[in-house]
Structure 1
Amino acid sequence: MASDPSSILPTASVAPAPSPKAESSRDNGRPARQPRPPKPNYKHIYRFPLPLSVHPLPPLIPHNPLSIVSVILSYMTFFISSPSHEVYSAYFDSNTSSVHVTDEKAVRALWEMGFFGKGNLSRSEPSWLEREKKRRGLLGGNTSEDLTSARRSERRGLKLERARTERKIIEERLKAEAAARANGAVPLDSSSPSLPPSENGATGNTTPSTEKFSLRKARQGKSLGSQHSEGQDQGYNASDSVSETKMINGGKTVRFSPVVQEKEFVSESTTLHLPDPSLNENDAGEEPSLKNEEHLQLSNEEAFFLVYGLGALQIFDDKRSTVIPAPSLFSLLRQHSYFPPRESPTALELDDPFIISYAVYHHFRSLGWIVRSGVKFGVDYLLYNRGPVFSHAEFAVVVIPSYDNPYWSETEERRDRSARKQARSWWWLHCVNRVQAQVKKSLVVCYVEVPPPLSDAQANAEHDVGALLAQYRVREISLRRWVPNRTRD
C-alpha cells in the first residue's frame, strides 16, 4: 500500500500559507507589520485578589450524594493540612508619614495580590530592577515604563510627520494657485481656486483626500518614507516657510515651527542598548550582581487595611524593633494625617483626614474594588474593576465629610466649623467633573457622615477600632457632566 507523499515530507520544508492580511499589506505596498511579542499571562499572575490563603470548598448539590462526600473530604483536608497564612513585614517612617516594604518577596506578593502600594522608583509597579537590567544589557523585553515612553515618542514623531505632510500640501496648493493666476485661468479675486489633481483623481473644488490625516496614515507615511528619494525632501527649503506667514483662502494664517522642518525621524528598531561601561569586560560571561534599590511605599490607608482588615501585614516602628499593634497604629496614623503631625492622641477629632479617607477605602475594598490613589486626576481615589494592568479605572472618587447629625448644628460655632469643613464651590466641582469626563471616568462624590462625640463608655473603649468605625456611614452619589447637545429629548 503506497503511503501518502505528504506524510514523508519534512516538517521544516512546509511553509505556512500567508494570511490574507499579510497579502493585502504587500499588495498595497506597505511592509507587513511584525508580530508583537507575547504578553505575560496576567490572569495567572494576578489571580489572587487579596494576600490571603483560602481553602475553597466544592459545590454542594443536595440531590447528588457524591457532592456531600467531596465536601467532607475538603473539610478533612483543611483540618489535616490547613493553608499557612503568611504575614509580611514593613516599617513606619515618621519623616514621610508612610509605610515602606523592603523585602522583595513581600513587595511582589502585595503588588500581585491586590495591587497594594507603589514603587518609589517607578510609576506604579515596582519595576526598577528590570529597567536597570535592561539598561545594562542583561535583560530583554520591555517594562511598562519603557512601553509608555516608546508610545509617547512614536505619537510625537507621527504628529510632526503629519505637520510636515500638511506643510507640503499647502505649498503645492499655493504653487498651483500662483500658476493658475499667471495663466489667467482663475480670477485673482476667486476664493476657491482650482486644486491640482490628487492621488485618487479628485480635481477642482473637491477637497483632495490627501488632506485628511490621522495617526494611522501618518504611521503609514512614515513607513513608506524610506522608499522615496532623498532628493524630494532636499528640494524643499526649510528657511523659506519658517519665517514667512502664508495666507490661505484669503483669511487663514499658517505658521510652521522650525521643529517640523528640522526634525529627523529615526526608526526606533535601530536603537542599540549598550551595556554599562562600568562593567568589567573580563566578567562579560558572568551575570554581575545588581542590588535592588527600590522598595514598596504603602499609603496609610493601604497599610492599616492590610494590618486591621486582613491581618496580612505587621508594621514596625522607626527603629524596626517593635511591632506596632493595630489600635496604636490607628492612633499614630490619625496623628500623622495632620501637618505637622499632632503629638498628643487626645488632640484627635472625629473628622480626622485619615479616619474619613480610611472609611471610604475600607468601604470600597470590602465591596471588591481595587482602590488606588487618584492624585493624578485631582481626586482622592480611583476604582478599578480588576486592576490597573487589565483596564483603566472606571470611577473617580472624591471624599467629602458630612455633618448631618443634629449635634453639629446645635450652636453657631459648630455650624461654622461644619460649613468650613465640607465647603466646596461649584467651580471646583465643575473642574473636577470636566477632568473626569475628558479621561472617560465617572465621578463619584462620597459623603462620610461624621458621628457626634463619643460617650464616656465609648471613650474608655477607645482601643476598639471596630466600634469606632461602625459609627461612620458612607453615601455615594454619581455625577455626570450634562451636555445639552447629547441629552436632548
Structure 2
Amino acid sequence: MGSRWKGKGAEVQALADPISEIVSQLQSSLISSNSKGLLSGTGVLLKADAELTDLLNRACFGRPRVTLEKNEQWFQLSTEEAFYLQHSLKCIKIVDHNDTELNGDELWKHMTSSRENFPILFKAFSHLRSKNWVVRSGSQYGVDFVAYRHHPALVHSEYAVLVLSAQDGNANGRLKVWSDFHCTLRLCGSVAKTLLILNIEEQQSCATSPSCLDNYVVEERTITRWSPEQGREKNVKSDSRVK
C-alpha cells in the first residue's frame, strides 16, 4: 500500500516541509530554552510556549493537555518520546517532583522498572524516528505503533507496527499461531495499513543501562495477505467442464 494523502496539495506541502527539518528546529528550540520535562506516572509532562507548542505539534511529539493557564501549554510525552528527546536528541532534561534532574542511567532505570519491555519498544521507536517516520501509539489497532510518512493531518498512517523479540520469548504472546497472523492481517487490511514486524535481536544481554541499545539489531519484515485472485496466472483459462 502506498501513501494515502489527505487532500490534493498535501503531498506538495509535506515535501516543502520535511519532518527531518521540523525535528531539527524542535531540537534547537528545546536546547535554547533549556526545557525540562517532569516525570508524571509513566509519562513526562513538558511545558511549552507558543513557539515550542507549534514545533511539538508539527513534529508530532506528545499530546497537548488541557489546562486553565492561558499563556502556557503542557504536553504529555510518552516514555519513548521523552527518552528519545533526552537520550537520542539530547535536547531536554528530565526532573522528578523534587526538581532533581535524572541522568540517562537513572531515567533508564525508571522507564524499565515501570515497563519491562521498554528497551525493545524504545529501540523500535528510535529506529523508525531516525528514519524520519512519525510514530504514534497503535493501541487502537491492536499494535504497538503506527507510522506516518508525515504529519497525520496530511497523510494516513502507512504501517501498523508490531515489536517482537526472541529474547523475551515473545512474552506478549502475539503471532504465535497462524490464526493470529490472519486476524492481524485482516484488521490491517480493513484500515488500509501494511503490517510491519520489527524483530529486535539482542546481541549481548545487558539491559541495565542505555548503552545496551547499541547491542540491539532491528530486523524489518512487512507481511501482507496473499489473495488467490492476485496470484492466478492471467493467461491460463480455467476449465469449466464438469468431470
Shorter-chain TM-score: what band? 0.7 to 0.9
Evaluate the alpha carbon distance shift between residue 426 and residue 294 of structure 1 in structure 2; reply closer, same or farther with a 3 A threshold: farther
Evaluate the alpha carbon distance shift between residue 451 and residue 316 of structure 1 in structure 2; reply closer, same or farther with a 3 A threshold: same
Letter in 2 for 1:107: T
Q: Provide Cα deviations, 1:69-106, integer angstroms capped at 9, x if missing partner.
A: xxxxxxxxxxxxxxx74442220113xx1111233344
Alpha-carbon distance, 1:420 to partner = 5.1
Q: 2:179 & 2:71 partners in 1: Cα distance?
A: 45
Q: 2:145 & 2:181 partners in 1: Cα distance?
A: 16
Among 437, 440, 445, the alignment partner of 2:189 is: 437
RMSD: 3.1
Q: 2:215 & 2:96 partners in 1: Cα distance?
A: 29
Contact kept in structure 1, 2:164 and 2:170, CA below 8 Å:
no
Instruction: Report the TM-score when normalising by structure 2.
Output: 0.77
Alpha-carbon distance, 1:419 to partner = 6.4
Q: Unpaired runs of 5+ in structure 2?
A: 1-9, 234-243
Alpha-carbon distance, 1:365 to partner = 1.1
Q: Equivalent residues in 2 for 1:365-380 (5 A)?
A: 365-380=129-144
- Larger CA deviation: 469-478 vs 98-107: 98-107
Q: 2:142 & 2:205 partners in 1: Cα distance?
A: 31
Higher helix share: 1
Does residue 221 of structure 2 align to residue 470 of structure 1?
Answer: no
Higher strand share: 2
Instruction: Report the TM-score when normalising by structure 1.
Output: 0.40
Letter in 2 for 1:487: G
Alpha-carbon distance, 1:426 to partner = 2.3
Q: Equivalent residues in 2 for 1:187-226 (5 A)?
A: none
Q: Unpaired runs of 5+ in structure 1?
A: 1-38, 55-83, 122-127, 130-289, 338-351, 404-416
Evaluate the alpha carbon distance shift between residue 42 and residue 318 of structure 1 in structure 2; reply closer, same or farther with a 3 A threshold: farther
Q: Who is 2:35 aligned against?
A: 88
Does residue 152 of structure 2 align to residue 394 of structure 1?
Answer: no
Higher RCO (CA < 8 A, seq sep 6+): 2
Evaluate the alpha carbon distance shift between residue 419 and residue 447 of structure 1 in structure 2; reply closer, same or farther with a 3 A threshold: closer
Q: Which runs of 4+ in 1 moved over 4 A?
A: 41-47, 419-423
Aligned residues: 217
Alpha-carbon distance, 1:291 to partner = 3.0
Does residue 236 of structure 2 align to residue 291 of structure 1?
Answer: no
Identical aligned pairs, as a percentage? 27
Contact kept in structure 1, 2:48 and 2:73, CA below 8 Å:
no
Letter in 1 for 2:57: W
Q: Provide Cα deviations, 1:236-257, integer angstroms capped at 9, x if missing partner.
A: xxxxxxxxxxxxxxxxxxxxxx
Contact kept in structure 2, 1:87 and 1:311, CA below 8 Å:
no
Q: 1:392 & 1:46 partners in 2: Cα distance?
A: 16
Letter in 2 for 1:295: W
Q: Equivalent residues in 2 for 1:72-471 (5 A)?
A: 85-94=32-41, 97-105=42-50, 106-112=52-58, 114-120=59-65, 291=70, 295-319=74-98, 321-337=99-115, 352-403=116-167, 418=169, 424-454=176-206, 463=209, 465=210, 467-471=211-215
Contact kept in structure 2, 1:401 and 1:422, CA below 8 Å:
no
